[in-house]
Amino acid sequence: MDIPAVRAAYDSQVRQATWTAEPGAVIEADARVVRYVPPAPQTSCITWSALAAESADAVIEAQQDYFGARGTPLEWKYYDYDEPADLPARLIAHGFTPDDEELMLVAETAAVQAPVELPAGVRLVPVTDAAGVAAMTAAHDGAFGHPSPELADRMLTAVSQTPDLVQMVVAMAGDDPVAAARIEFVEGTDFAGLWSGGTVPAWRGRGIFRALVAYRAGLAAARGYRYLQVDALPASRPILQRLGFQAVASTTPYLWQPQGGTM
């Protein structure tokens, strides 16, 4: 895989995209930043930036003024090749808090396609309604150890309004949701994104995570997507890299909350 070419394609096709299918959300772009702005009170995101050292602080302050006026939280999605090189330190100086660093991994879809193999008694169930979202949320909360009400709200909207662009799946052991994941299809690009893949602790090490990757790779291949992209935490990186994913960049969310708000 040509890593610089993949990185350039991801920047131009995904990070700098100026269209979103998410209901109520807009993307605003200028020469320096691209902002994803969902309906309040959801967290907005700077998805791409190209800043010069002499003007970076002013641009950061302008984003804070903008989202401070909206009264909504902001995530600045930093990639380790973004300029200037000291952008993380500048964000921290302006009151942003770094979240966990993730490794952006990419694989050729065709290279990771494999049969979906599950342990005995486990089945995969596509999420198509509110009950499915509830099961997915329960699995997600058990896997990651914290509730995600904003994610649940977004997935409810996706199920009802954009089911062709966001597809979710839950691994069920009897009546218990034990793992879940979703895939997002970025229309007009080469990339399908793998998100929120996780297994509750009692069911780890049995191949369910690999099965979720294989299942979603099949969905992406059926639609003709060339690449699968995932922002991986340390626990999932070895599995994904054994499946053929390669590191493209490290990425860190920097979070900021307007004065008087709560994260």
Within-domain flag for 96: yes
Report d(CA 160, CA 59) in Å as an integer.
37
The DSSP call for residue 43 is P
Beta bridge partners of 256: 74
Report d(CA 62, CA 199) in Å as an integer.
40
Within-domain flag for 263: no
On whether both 197 and 114 belong to a single domain, the answer is yes
- Region at 11 (left for phi over 0; alpha for psi -120 to 50; beta for the rest): alpha
On whether both 71 and 186 belong to a single domain, the answer is no
* Confidence at residue 147, expressed as pLDDT on a 0 to 100 scale: 81
Within-domain flag for 28: yes
On whether both 72 and 156 belong to a single domain, the answer is no
On whether both 98 and 182 belong to a single domain, the answer is no
* Confidence at residue 207, expressed as pLDDT on a 0 to 100 scale: 95
Residues of the chain with pLDDT > 70: what percent? 98
Within-domain flag for 224: yes
Helix (H) or strand (E) holding 61: helix 56-70
Residues of the chain with pLDDT > 90: what percent? 80
* Confidence at residue 260, expressed as pLDDT on a 0 to 100 scale: 61
* Confidence at residue 154, expressed as pLDDT on a 0 to 100 scale: 84
On whether both 200 and 95 belong to a single domain, the answer is no
Residue 151 predicted with pLDDT over 90: no
Number of separate domains in the chain: 2
pLDDT in tens, 191-247: 999 998 999 999 999 999 999 999 999 999 999 999 999 999 898 999 999 999 999
pLDDT in tens, 75-120: 999 999 999 999 999 999 999 999 999 999 999 999 998 889 999 9
Domain at 36, CATH number: 3.40.630
pLDDT in tens, 29-76: 988 999 999 988 889 999 999 999 999 999 999 999 999 999 999 999
Residue appearing with tokens 């990425």: 251
Residue 248's contacts (CB-CB under 8 Å, 6 or more residues apart) are 3, 6, 7, 10, 104, 105, 106, 229
Q: 76: domain range? A: 3-103+251-256
Residue appearing with tokens 């299809």: 185
Residue 72's contacts (CB-CB under 8 Å, 6 or more residues apart) are 40, 41, 42, 43, 44, 258, 261
Within-domain flag for 262: no
- Nearest-10 crossing angle of helices 130-144, 149-161: 150
On whether both 8 and 53 belong to a single domain, the answer is yes
For the segment 129-135, the average pLDDT, to the nearest whole number, is 95
Q: Which is it for the CA torsion 42, 47, 52, 53, positive or negative?
A: positive
Residue 146 banded pLDDT, cuts 50, 70, 90: confident
Domain at 219, CATH number: 3.40.630.30
Residue 263 predicted with pLDDT over 60: no
Residue appearing with tokens 């909350």: 257
